[in-house]
Amino acid sequence: MQPMSAKIVQDLIETFWELNASRAPLKDFLPILDHEGFFMELAGTDIRFVGIAGLGDHQMGKLIYFDQKFILHDIQVEPGLDTALARTKAEWQASMWTSPAPYSQRIKVMLLHTWHVGRAKEDSRPILLGHVCEEFHYLPGFAPKEQAKEFHLTQEG
């Protein structure tokens, strides 16, 4: 068995992002992650999703976003034989629409993640064990704007 290379780790992360951005069915994630223990968390908060069901909950919470893409700016990988750690700096771009807004908005977010990679129990293939979003901040001019109230339901006077 060869150590997990930086390329293997980067490919796993980029595959996860492609599946995430395209709203792929949960079954499409199964080959690349630990479906029982996989975790996603936001540092400094109580926000944590665990397992494939948690990933499903996370995806449901993102239904207002479309035309998503993740752009990798930097990756640092500490490879090992059975585990690897990666730190990424990436940009998440998405359009969002919330009723009754007449138009969608484009958001851009800078993300810093720490990724945990291990091996699948059944065949030792490299898989994602989870990631922590260390930082999440909107780029200037690309934060969500305040939504107008439903004007046609508002009574004056």
Which residues are registered as beta bridge partners of 71?
91
Report pTM: 0.89
Confidence label for 150 from pLDDT (cuts 50, 70 and 90) = low
CB 33 within 8 A of CB 131: no
Give the residue-averaged pLDDT of 33-52: 96
Element spanning 51, H or E: helix 51-61
Strands 126-138 and 39-42: parallel
Handedness of CA 11, 17, 21, 24 (dihedral sign): positive
